[in-house]
Structure 1
Amino acid sequence: MVRSRTPTGFMMPEPSFRRVFGQVDLRRLESDPAVDLLADSPLDPRSGADRRLLGRLELLITGWGTPRIDARTLELLPNLRAIAHSAGTVRPVVDPIVYDRGIAVSSAASANAVPVAEFTLALITLAAKRAFWAADRVRDGAVDADLETAWPAVGIRGRTVGIVGASTIGRLVIDRLRGLDLDVLLHDPTVRPAEAAELGAQLLDLPELVARSEILSLHAPSLPSTRGMIDRTLIGSLRPGATLINTARGDLLDQEALVERLERGDLVALLDVASEEPLPRDSRLRGAPNTFLTPHIAGSIGTELGRLSAHAVDEAIAFAASGAFRCAIDQTTFALRA
């Protein structure tokens, strides 16, 4: 008996599609015997012809900028059985009704986590060396940065790094820290002490972790329970000379309280995200001392986008061939991390 091919298509803005999907992965998808690729470019729900194709789709590949798959969108997708997301979090795209309808969901979060973890590890290493402060001194004309006099601790050996969130990225960061001679602390209410020990970290409640950390790195998802979790009190409890790294979401912390603490001059912040993006030109954060800002670049960009494309295509082919994703996101994971 010959298995029928799975009608498959893309739905996302054309620029997102062209940015992520290369010809090699498109050809892999197009030539796979289990996949019936209805179009080699994104389908537009506003087009009558594309709406007819959407009505046939069983497998949808989404990405940055895909319209939310809610009850109204699902009316256009009566045969939909699976969504393969070619980016990290599926929250902007997947409405909970998707799970109510029994539609399988996968995401490229594990692929997107790799460059974020790499970027974070680089920030931790450079922060421990006070490299950003030293670079500013050089720019200002100093001959000798005199790091050991200016800061209470310099160097990575023996330092204490606190990780907030045992997300996919958080776990990758902990794994990459294993080879360094330092102590790793972890806060995540979903993790047990034995599991934290297996990861290579000591599990603590959040106030103790923040107070003990010399370098604090945030990797929690943005959920109602996590927004503002690093509040004014916790920011005030950071030890003098500590470094706060945020490559997760800007709404995890009280940005105003952070700016006030930074303006005291005894804290360092390395921030790839902000509570409002792009960061307003008049934001006090731009002028805060000991602050290194990047415009949300920790995730996949440039050559790294190939991982997202390959992951989404691998997942699509796996579902078309077997009826199941290799890296499915169930409802529990969606609620806690996705």
Structure 2
Amino acid sequence: MTENQSEAKPADAVVRVVLAASPSFREMVFAAGSMDRLSAVGEVVLLDDPGDADALMAALPGADVLITSWGATPLTAEVLTPANRLQLIAHAASSVKHFITDEVFRRGIRVTQAGQAMARPVAEVSLAFTLSMLHRIHRFNHTMHAGGWREEAIAPTSTGTTAGTSDVVLAQHGLAGSRIGVVGASRTGLEYIRMLVALGADIAVYDPYLTNERAAGLGVRTTTLDELLRTSRVVALHAPTLPETRHMIGARELALMPDGAALVNTARSWLVDTAALLAELRSGRIDAALDVFDEEPLPADDPVRTLPNVLLTPHRAAGTVECYFEMGELTAAEVERFSTGQPLHHELTRSTLAHMA
């Protein structure tokens, strides 16, 4: 505890919670039950603009808990100066890297977040992408919209060459008979792995932090990235955004993938060299399903939009009604645990944050 923070409040003191979120975010994330749970903890102060640093500074004196949302203002030393009693920051979403600073941890303020709510829906989309790639649903869909049938699934690309000129590229496969490579045993990666195991896939995982013992418990095996790329029909990315993961899938890595293989990315475009991926996709040798892009919204004239061997969604893998409401429930539950002195379930430390997206 730093000098500008008071001693722990008496047990009967009212917990003051500042909820910095736009009205639309609150409506989307905090159902009536979640708001009732927060109100039962103590006094709730609402700030409609999460990016308004001045309004936040005015609300922080006497606050015990700060609930943040999308668009949160960076919590610098200046912004935290009035926070004489702040002990917990509960982020009602996933990544906190854009606003949590070292000053937060220096002051001994605890941090938690609701990213676990996003793991299952993103994993479900990753699984849906995987099945689409194996069964070539995206290619057939493109062909039929263009007026064709089965034989016309080999379609010209935007460069005038032919995408999918070999039988191996257009062969359809079942999940139970396929090796799926998972890059990153993150929260979402683990949910995806559990789904694949239940459906009988052969799973290889590349993650420097996943032990062989832990992998065996999950029903998968660990391998090198190169071996995973060489032997997988579908490669699904679930790695975090770290300096060492920047363009971890580049031209050399993509060239290792066998003809007819597919890349699934519901994580971050940071992981992939987009120019190298576009070159491979234009050749028609591999397929891809992408929910994340270097530039968002994806420009209308981006060449990837024209390719029949690519399935695209607009960064909406986590966008389910249930996911958003669960973020509110997880946040309210963490605030309840804090108020009663129970261990937090989703706490982040400086070291754990360094290995998260």
Determine the structure 1 residue equivalent to 2:44: 37
Q: Is the 8 A contact 2:74 2:100 kept in 1?
A: yes
The answer to whether the 8 A contact 1:59-1:316 is kept is: yes
AA partner of residue 276 (structure 1): E
User: Kindly tell me: are residues 11 and 146 of structure 1, through their superposed partners in 2, closer, same or farther at Cα, counting changes over 3 Å?
Assistant: same
Whether the 8 Å CA contact 1:10–1:42 is kept in 2: the answer is no
Query: Which ranges in structure 1 are unaligned for 5 or more consecutive residues?
Result: none
* Pair 2,230 (structure 1): closer, same or farther in 2 beyond 3 Å: closer
> 1:137, 1:145 within 8 Å by CA — same for their partners in 2?
no
Kindly provide the amino acid, as one letter, of the partner of residue 89 in structure 2. I
1:207-250 deviation digits (Å, cap 9, x = unpaired) = 11111111000001111111111111001111110110000001
Three-state SS of the structure 2 residue aligned to 1:27 is helix
Aligned length, in residue pairs: 334
Identity rate, percent: 31
Offset at residue 172 of structure 1 (A): 0.7
Distance 1:298 1:107 in 2: 18
Q: Map Cα deviations across residues 159-194 of structure 1 (whole Å, 9 max, x no partner).
A: 010000010000110011112222101001111222
Q: Provide the residue aligned with 2:54 in structure 1.
A: 46
Identify which range, 223-232 or 284-293, moves more after superposition: 284-293
RMSD: 2.2
Q: Which residue of 2 aligns with 1:173?
A: 192
Would you say the 8 A contact 1:262–1:289 is kept in 2?
A: no
Given that residues 20 and 47 in structure 2 are in contact (C-alpha distance below 8 angstroms), is that contact kept between their aligned partners in structure 1? no
Q: Which residue of 2 aligns with 1:16?
A: 25
Q: Please name the residue that 2:159 is paired with.
A: none
Deviates more, 1:243-252 or 1:143-152: 143-152
Q: Give the secondary structure class of the aligned counterpart of 1:189.
A: coil
The one-letter amino acid of 2:110's match is A
Give the TM-score normalised by the residue count of structure 1: 0.92
**1:276-327 deviations in whole A, cap 9, x for unaligned?**
1111222222223401111100013434310111111111111112164222
Structure 2 counterparts to residues 104-123 of structure 1, below 5 A? 104-123=110-129
Once the two structures are overlaid, the 10-residue window that deviates more, 266-275 or 319-328, is 319-328
The answer on whether the counterparts of 2:21 and 2:47 sit within 8 Å (CA) in structure 1 is no
SS at match of 1:296: coil
Q: Structure 2 vs 1, CA of residues 315 and 42 (structure 1 numbering), >3 Å: closer, same or farther?
A: farther
Q: CA deviation at 1:25?
A: 1.2
For 1:83 and 1:285, locate their aligned partners in 2 and report how far apart those are by CA, in whole Å. 40
CA contact (8 A) 2:138 2:311 kept: yes
Alignment of structure 1 residues 1-338 onto 2, 5 Å: 2-32=11-41, 35-39=42-46, 44-47=52-55, 51-144=57-150, 149=167, 151-322=170-341, 324-338=343-357
Instruction: Map Cα deviations across residues 105-136 of structure 1 (whole Å, 9 max, x no partner).
Output: 11111111111011111111222111111212
Q: Conserved in 2, the CA contact under 8 Å of 1:17 and 1:42?
A: no
Q: Is the 8 A contact 1:241 1:266 kept in 2?
A: yes
TM-score, L = length of structure 2: 0.87
